[in-house]
Each structure stands twice: as structure tokens, then as C-alpha cells.
Amino acid sequence: MALPCSATTCLSPPVHYLICQLGFEKTERCDIGNILSANGEVCWEAVTEHLCYLESDQSVDYATSIHSLGPVCESVHLHFRSLSKEQFLGQNEVWFQWTNCTELFLEVFDVLQSSQGTEVALGLMKLTSCLERALGDVYLLIGKDCPFLLRDLLASEQLAVVFGQAVMNVLRVFIGSPCGLNLRNVLWHGFASPQEIPAKYCAMLLFLTAGLGQLLQKHLLQTECILVHRPYVVFGSLEDLDGFPDLNHETLSIAEELVKLSSFVLKTMLPFWMAALTAFKQNRYADCVILLLPQLEAGLRLLFTTSNKCPNRLLTAEPSALYTTFDEMLAKHLDNEEINQLPAVLEEPAMEFLWDILNHQEGPRVRDRLSHGEINLKAFPREVANQIVAFAITLLCRFSDEDMVAFKEHVAIKALMNSASCYHSRFHPISRLKKQVLECMKSIHLWPELPRVPEEDFQTMKGLQGNAEASALLLIISGIISQLQQYMPQNCYGSDDPVSSVLTERLLAELCDTALCTLYSPRPVLEILVILRKISTQCHQVSKQVTASTELRYTQWINKTLRSRQRQNYLRMLKSMKFLSPMLRLILVLITLELINIHLVSQKDPFDYQQYLKFLKSILQYAENLVTYTSPEKNKWDETMELTNKVLMKIRKISERKLLLMTLAT
């Protein structure tokens, strides 16, 4: 599929004028000595005097301020270009330390010496994200719950207390306000091409960051506070990022050719794509992803505007309207409540990948975390970059002219395309529950291998009872299994003992292989998933506690360090394990059967839905009580028997009343 686009810019005329022209109209020179003292301190009054305010409400007049600050930015840029690296370090290194990213700001100085468009844009994106993170740390000196949006952070009273309102207004002219230059957003959302971002604005933000460091030092000395930097976010579950094979040099070389030919790439953005692929080859994975994500957004915006027949939305919006960004493009409906056509064009696997990488709370949320400075750029994992680049290559192929057949037939590209076509979510709550269930079952499955005292030792303990009660519980469990078997795949169990032949890892693996739609899950589905996941988590905690207690008590038994009461408790635990194991496995099978039928919840009327929720919460309460009773502190093994009996009665009753989701499937 080829995409028609002759756009030479993604900046609307007013935004293009603000960024590319307005700050160049005032040609009078600004003496650097007026804004920078001999010892390298920023003269803030000389900078803030260029701010202009509206007479109506005394809010910042952004356009006039940009016009007035243009020569100041030019002067700063020329000054930095006149300095050697050693001179710049001597004057400024100490003033960047508050950002916790000193090295990055020194790299931006190097970029200014060459003024290459892609490097300036990359430097600005990294600078603004790290500056935002540092400003958030400063905010927390005074306030709590740092604002998520840069716009709100810069408008906060807390930062105005530390730096002064006029200083914050200067920053807002450059970043954070859609009425100003808004450099951060037009770059991070893929609206600006390399040649459209003046290097002098990058220089000015570097200059302002050093000035903020000077003001902060004075504030810290006056208040005797210590600035604490929040730890970086570390990507978890990297083992789940296995959707695409590892990229080699040959595949990347093909990708470079695809970029030049694919209609998914806006021609003005071609340098960004090439720079991203080069960065990957050079193992600069953060740089690669920072460059590539805005281009994915730009390409998808072209696809979005084409499929929804709204070509005007390819451009940046005015301050009064929202930009067309990932959030809107991945939504089910447009802002006019019509169905968004992009998901149908991309198809479900591609949509699931985008939601996984960008949106799901337990996913990497790469764009959010990078753009808000939450990630250590030096330690950005190759695994994440590999998945994003591989996915991007598949889009280059899919949305291209027919004369690219030769590329698509290449074995490496075919492997990527096959991976893309069968991708399923890793980070949706449905996927996370499947993983939890299998991990829990694996833990319980190891119980028989745990060391334990010989059976004959049970007989030596007087007053130890419970065999009859445990057997009765096993009978009830067997009966419930018989009721549920009609909803299970028949190839996963035998006809002998239902407990040992049905409640198996094989059954759960088969059930978890069931493909389920994850896109746009309605609220009732998500509400149920929360409870099911909590149940699974509690069951796994019980298994961990039982495992740890069994190993410890066995060692103490062998070493003869257990007192009489402890020995009795140990043997009670071993007896309880005989019914706890099948009970926990029953719960796992039950919640997995409910999971694979979870979309049928929409068929329940409000009363039945509330009854169903009440039942699930009773299972959760049982699992939470088990965690308490099986903990080393409590050791209440006899009580687990009574608890289990009560909850089995509830399960049997709800099953007979056919209130479970699985019964709706028939």
C-alpha cells in the first residue's frame, strides 16, 4: 500500500512562522556581555527584560517575546561557537551538575559546533527530556507528586519559588507551552524536520540550563536543602520483548534502502531515519529510539490522515486545538465519535505491538519514559531498540510501492514480516495474567519434589488428625472438576484420578494458548482482570511460603532442632499440602477458564454481574487468608482446612447456578 503525500513540512503556517522566521526578524545585535558576566554567570534581568506581556491579563505574549529574544539567542549561539571545549567546560561544567546529566549537556555543546540538523534536533530532544527530569527533582524540594506534563511543571508555583516567575516564563517561551516555540513537543511528536529547528534555540536552552544551575545553587545555600535525584526507571520483563528476531548488519543495510523508497517516510524526514539506523549500528540505542519514535509517529499520522480522510491533521495544530499524536491515532474513536480507521488498516498485530511498546502500564512505555527523562540513556537496552527498529522496517515494507517486491522477498525481511503478522500482546493485563498463572502452576508443580519426612514418621505423632477431613476436601474438588471438564479441551486430561490427571501444567498451557482480543477491552473486562490477577498473585505467594517453610522445617527436622510443638506444626503443614496443592491448582484452572471466556461478560445483566464480582472477591479473600495462615508467623494449618471447605462450597454453588463465564460459552 502506497501513501500519497507531497507535504514539504508538517508545521502549519503559523507554527512554521513562529519557529523558523519570527525570531530572525529583529536584526539588531545583542552584546553577549550584557547577558553573561565575566565570571560566566547569566544576567537574568537582561534576559527577562525581553519578555512581553499582554495588557489584557498580563499573561506572556509569546509571539512578541520570541521576536524580542531572537537576537539574544543569536548572540548566545555565536558565543558558544567561539569557545573551545576547554573554555566551555571551565565556564559551565559545574552549572550542569544539578541536572544529573552533565555529560549530555557537554555533548550538546559539541553538536552546536557543527550545527547538523539531525544532531541539533537529537540534542534538543535529549536536552529537554533531561531538563524536565531535573526540574521535577527541584519541584520535589517543595512539593509532592511531580506533574507528569512539562507544561504543568513549568507553570507550577514550586518552581517559581526556586527560580522566579520571570525565569520560568522565559523557559515557557521555548518549551512547554503550545503558544510558544514548543520545541520539545514539535520534535518529540515528529512534526519538525531537521532543517526546521534553528540551532540557536538549542544553544539558548543550553545557556538557560546553566543559568538555572546558578539560581538553584543560591536557593540551596539559603535553604540548606539538598537536591535528591530520583532513580532512573529500569525496563523490566525484557525477556518478553521477543516479538522480532535480532537484527544484523545485512538487514539494517536493506532497511536503509527501504527508507529511501517507502511511502511511509515523509521525504523531509529521511535524514532522521538514516540517522536512527546509523545510531543502531553504532550501538547508540537510546539515540536510535529517540530519533525513530517521532518518525514512526509522523508516518502513522500520514496513514491516519489518509485512512480517516482528514489530510489537514497531518500538520501541527494551533494552541486552541490538539495535535494529532499517538494517543489519538491509537484510540478506537475519533474526536467526533466516528470509528478510527487506522486500526483496521494497521491490523490487530501491529496495533497490539504499538500498545505494548507505548501504552500498557506494565510495558516499557518507551516514548513516555524517554521524553520525560526517566531513562538512563547510557544504559538503554538493545532489546528494546531492536524491537522498535524491526517493527519500523515492517511498516516500511507494508506501506510501499509494488516495485519493492525484491526487498520483501529477502529472507531477513520475510522473517520480520512473519513475526509482525503473528505478534500478540505481551503487556496487556490478559497476557500478564496468563504469564502469572503459568508461573504459579510451575511453582506448585514442584511441591512433590520438596524434601519431607518419611510417611511413617506421621504415625509417631500423637493427637495429629485431619486425614479424613483432607480426603473429604479432595472428594469435593474432584466433584467440581467433573462439573468443569465439559469446558476444557479433552486432549489435556485422562480418565483416571481427576485431580492428578486434570489439574496439570499441560492443561493450563493449552488454555493459555487460546488467542484473545486485547484491543479496547471494556471496563467490566478490565475490572475482572484486576481481581483475577490478584487471586493469582496471592496463590503464588502461598506456594512460595509453603515451599520455603517445607525446606526450612525439613532441615530443622533432620538436624533435630525442632521443638515438639514445631514438629507437630510441620506435620500438619505436610498434611495440609495434600489438599492445598489440588485446591490452588483448581483455582488456577478456574480463573484461566474464566479468562478465555472473559469477553462474554458483556452478556451478563447488571445483577448477575455484581453477583459474579462478589464471587470472585470471595475467592480473592480466601487466597489472601491463605497467605496469612501459611505465613511463618501464623502457621495456622488446621484453619486452612476450614477455609478451604467454605470456599469449595461457594465454587460448587456458583458452578451449579451457571453464573461462571465459561457456562455462557455453551
In angstroms, the CA 252 to CA 63 distance is 43
pLDDT at position 318: 64
* Pair (533, 449) in one structural domain: yes
Residue 334 to residue 344: CA distance in whole angstroms: 14
Q: Is 593 within 8 Å of 662 (Cβ atoms)?
A: yes
Which grid coordinates are listed for 70? Answer: 531572537
CA distance 268 to 190: 11
Q: Is the pLDDT of residue 488 over 70?
A: yes
Same-domain status, 403 and 441:
no
> How many domains are contained in the chain?
3
Please list, in sequence order, all residues whose beta carbon lies within 8 angstroms of the beta carbon of residue 6, skipping any fewer than 6 positions away.
none
Q: What's the pTM value of the predicted model, to 2 decimals?
A: 0.92
Domain-embedded: residue 67: yes
* 427 within 8 A of 362, measured Cβ to Cβ: yes
* Residues 319 and 463 grouped into a single domain: no
d(CA 281, CA 477): 57
- Indicate if 436 and 392 belong to the same structural domain: no
Residue among 206, 200, 214, 162 nearest 66 (CA) = 200
In a domain, 3, yes or no: no
In a domain, residue 232? The reply is no
Q: How many CA atoms lie within 13 A of 578 on its CB side?
A: 17
**Between the CA of residue 545 and those of 443, 452, 455, 583, what are the distances in Å?**
11, 15, 22, 16
Mean pLDDT value of segment 467-494: 83
Give the cell for residue 651. 465454587
CA dist 425 and 432 (Å) reads 9
pLDDT of residue 568: 86
**Cβ(398)–Cβ(2) under 8 Å?**
no
Verify that 21 and 158 share a domain, yes or no: yes
In a domain, 597, yes or no: yes
Cβ pair 372, 148 in contact under 8 A? yes
Task: Compute the C-alpha angle 391/396/400, nearest 5°.
Answer: 150
Give me the mean pLDDT over the 503-507 stretch. 86
Backbone angles phi and psi of 60, in degrees to 5: -65, 130
- Flag whether 25 is in a domain: yes
Indicate whether 374 and 491 sit together in one domain.
no
**Is residue 312 domain-shared with residue 193, that is, in the same domain?**
no
Same-domain status, 202 and 132: yes
- At residue 306's C-alpha, the angle toward residues 302 and 310, to 5°, is 100
Please give the pLDDT value at position 236: 84
Domain final residue, candidates 192, 223, 254: 223
Is 2 contained in some domain? no
Of 1-5, 85-89, 158-162, the poorest mean pLDDT is in 1-5
Burial class, 79, CB count within 10 angstroms (exposed 0-12 / middle 13-18 / buried 19+):
middle
Per-chain mean pLDDT for the chain: 91
Report d(CA 301, CA 304) in Å as an integer: 5
- The answer on pLDDT for 408 being more than 80 is no
Q: 441 and 409: one domain? A: no
Confidence of residue 485 (pLDDT cuts 50, 70, 90): confident
**Quick one: pLDDT band at residue 496, thresholds 50, 70, 90?**
low
597: phi then psi, degrees, rounded to nearest 5: -115, 15
**230 domain residue, yes or no:** no
Residue 566 lies in a domain: yes
Mean pLDDT over 39-51 rounds to 94
Mean pLDDT of 452-473: 68
pLDDT at 474 over 60: yes
Same domain for 301 and 412, yes or no, is yes
Q: φ and ψ at 339, to 5 degrees?
A: -70, 130
Percent of the chain, pLDDT > 70? 94
Question: pLDDT tens digits, residue range 556-600?
Answer: 988 889 888 888 888 889 989 999 999 999 999 999 999 999 999
What does R_g of the chain's alpha carbons equal in angstroms? 31
Q: Which three-class secondary structure string do you get for 96-141?
A: HHHHCCHHHHHHHHHHHHHCCHHHHHHHHHHHHHHHHHHHHHHHCC
Measured in residues, the chain has a length of 666
Q: Give the angle subtended at the CA of 142 by the CAs of 141 and 146, to the nearest 5°.
A: 80
- The yes-or-no verdict on residue 183 having pLDDT over 90 is yes
Which of 362, 394, 421 is the endpoint of a domain?
Answer: 421
> CA 446, 448, 451, 457: dihedral to nearest 10 degrees?
160
At which residue does the C-alpha cell 540534542 appear? 123
**pLDDT tens digits, 101-134:** 999 999 999 999 987 889 999 999 999 999 999 9
- Residues 329 and 385 placed together within one structural domain of the fold: yes
Which residues face 339 on adjacent strands? Answer: 333
Span 64-75, average pLDDT: 97
Looking at 197, 223, 249, the residue that finishes a domain is 223
Domain region containing 26: 13-223
pLDDT at residue 613 tops 90: yes
Q: Give the three cell numbers for residue 276.
A: 536512527
- Give the per-residue SS3 of 53-78: ECCCCCCECHHHHHHHHHHHHHHHHH
Helices (H), 485-522: 498-502, 505-512
* Percent of the chain surpassing pLDDT 90: 75
Split at pLDDT 50, 70, 90, the class of 463 is: very low
Mean pLDDT of 442-457: 85
**Which parts of 504-522 fold into alpha helices (H)?**
505-512
**Per-residue model confidence as pLDDT tens digits over 341-394:** 999 999 999 999 999 999 999 999 999 999 999 999 999 999 999 999 999 999
Identify which has the larger pLDDT, 453 or 576.
576
Contact residues for 552 (Cβ-Cβ < 8 A; gap 6+) = none
Same domain? 415 vs 437: no
